A and B are shown apart, each in its own frame.
Chain A
Amino acid sequence: MRLSAPSGIAVALALVAAGFAVAFLVGRFPVSLGDVFAVLYSKLSGAPSGVSSAAETVILNVRGPRVLAAFFVGAALSVAGAAFQGLFRNPLVSPDILGASSGAALGAVLGIYFSLGVFAIQGLAFLGGLVAVAAVYAIGSALRMRDPVLVLVLAGVVIGALLGSGVGLIKYLADPYNQLPAITFWLLGSLAATSASDLVSLVSLIAAGTFVLLLLRHRMNAMSLPEEEARALGISTGPMRIAIVAAATLVTSASVAAAGIVGWVGLVVPHIARSLTGPDFAKLLPVSALLGGSFLLFIDTIARTAASIEIPLGILTAFVGTPFFIWLLASMQKNWS
């Protein structure tokens, strides 16, 4: 199935609308679509909404922040995944290929170990992601080899493994009754703790990075060619690569800081987007962002409603993502269309 750009975006937008509706309506406290619009309208106009204050609290303070966070995290991971798959000319690349997730994990785990507050833990996770990717990039540029992209990926694998051992060390040292469970839950990923105050930084960081990636999307087709070809076509590949890596890392680190480790989204969603609209990055990036946002909206709704306890996001995305990816591999053996 290959759709034109407008119809691909229409399908994606329809899924986003459905995702938002389901995410707002499904849950233990019954809320109707009319309630949601009434509350949003009263928030904008200042007039009373006529909705019960309990429902208003659920919409504005409980589900609202979480729903927005799910959409932005899903969109961010998917757009970063699509950009990295192009940049590294490999459809099996995920947004944490350069160590963003492992860096963020170590930052968050350190924050939990030193019993810091939620905000400090998120800040450390965000910084950890940025520092890890900066280190990988520095190593990649220092080891000047013929294929700079390959060196970058290898450096990412190595640093990721090192940071993973760091996380293991902290877990080993952590207090097994309080800190270890907290660390474990954080590493499994969840949006349960999202509050309205977290949203400002999360949404602004993700919007900024995604905006840069979307601006550069017309150059990404050529950037997905071998380095020398891209340069022969007139792209200054060095600065362009830094810009794409920086923007993708920004959105990935912000996502991981807010939601913990949520795997698979950034790997699988670009594939769905590609099968919908084709590999042209001009269409692929916006469609990936929209599909990723709606995907995580659905997944997060399942995470908080399917069982009597919250199911960690990372576990659900793996349960959904793995079989889907195997199916994708089987149906696309011919090529990565």
Chain B
Amino acid sequence: MTITAENLAIGYRDRLVGSDLSISLREGESLALLGPNGGGKTTLLKTLLGLLPPRAGEIMLNGRPLSAISVRERARLVGYVPQVHIGTFAFSVETVVLMGRTAYGSLFSRPGAKDIAVAREMLERLGIIHLAERSYTEISGGERQLALLARALAQEPRFVVLDEPTASLDFGNQGKVLHEIGRLTGAGLGVLFTTHDPNHALRAAHRVCLLRDGAIMTEGATSGVLTRDNLEMLYGASVIPVAEGKQVAFLPG
């Protein structure tokens, strides 16, 4: 299964954010979107999720236009992990994850035994089953991020889209989330995520797409794209590469 978009134009009713964007994602593959603020990362993400209509072009999900797929069916194919938020009501973590089963029930049905089993399985998988009864507003930011990821996984999707999954997390939790991304692709899911840290893309992405001023600067395998020259051009700032053996990392200059 693949998500592909060719010559996509993205933006809002009153503002064009980007155009001529071509992007594709296969199952079992992770793609990182990198770029400065205001470059169009979030807009592209929302457009690929079908939350924002494209201004031109079409997104194809396994050869079918995304616009022809119902909201419900889409939710069973693509899971969305938004940026961590606190939320208005103090739902239990299990209730939050059960919301991921919305697309599997009818309009009026209550979550069934299967739904509860899937929700608990995902909590187990992410190592937060002990938080099931805790309220979502009381757990830490890292735990919340994992809970939102568990909710997306409870959708039993083929693709997961994460909006800055490592932002606002401490160093240890960043590593945990990146590790989970690696496990998801290992399990055959396609993963698309945005990040502000090139090192996170180095750690967890097979391919990287550099997005600047609403246009794709470069796109390709992570090791080829994430170079000092490319990053300096992308952010318009100097970058210091640090190498140890075959491992490379970048420091902001």
Contacts and interface: CB of A to CB of B under 8 A. Distances in A.
Nearest to A145: B13
Most central of A91, A219, A233, A336 by chain B CB within 10 Å: A233
A90 B109 contact: no
B88 A234 contact: no
22 contacts: A89-B88, A144-B13, A146-B12, A218-B105, A218-B109, A218-B110, A221-B98, A222-B99, A224-B88, A232-B49, A232-B79, A233-B99, A233-B102, A234-B103, A235-B71, A235-B102, A280-B91, A280-B95, A282-B110, A335-B135, A336-B88, A336-B90
A278 interface: yes
Contacts of A335: 90, 135, 137-138
Given A216-B108, A232-B51, A222 B92 contact: no
Nearest to B76: A234
A229 B99 CA distance: 10
Given A218-B108, A218-B109, A218-B110, A233 B13 contact: no
A225 interface: yes
A89 B89 CA distance: 8
A91 B99 contact: no
A215 interface: yes
Contact of A228 (B51, B75, B103, B105): B51
Interface of B: 12-13, 46, 49-51, 71-72, 74-76, 78-80, 82, 85, 87-92, 95, 98-100, 102-103, 105, 107-111, 135, 137-138, 151, 155
Q: Which 8 A-B pairs have the closest CB atoms?
A: A234-B103, A234-B75, A232-B80, A279-B89, A337-B90, A234-B72, A233-B102, A335-B137
Given A218-B108, A234-B71, A335-B138, A280 B92 contact: yes
Interface in A97-155: 144, 146
Contacts of B13: 144
Given A90-B88, A146-B12, 13 more contacts: A89-B88, A216-B107, A218-B105, A218-B111, A225-B87, A229-B80, A231-B51, A232-B80, A232-B82, A233-B80, A234-B71, A280-B92, A335-B135
A232 B75 contact: yes
A279 B105 CA distance: 20
A144 B74 CA distance: 24
A295 B151 CA distance: 37
A231 B155 CA distance: 13
Contacts of B87: 225
Nearest to B96: A221
Interface string A191-213: 00000000000000000000000
Nearest to B90: A337
A236 interface: yes
Contacts of B12: 146
Given A224-B88, A279-B91, A215 B138 contact: no
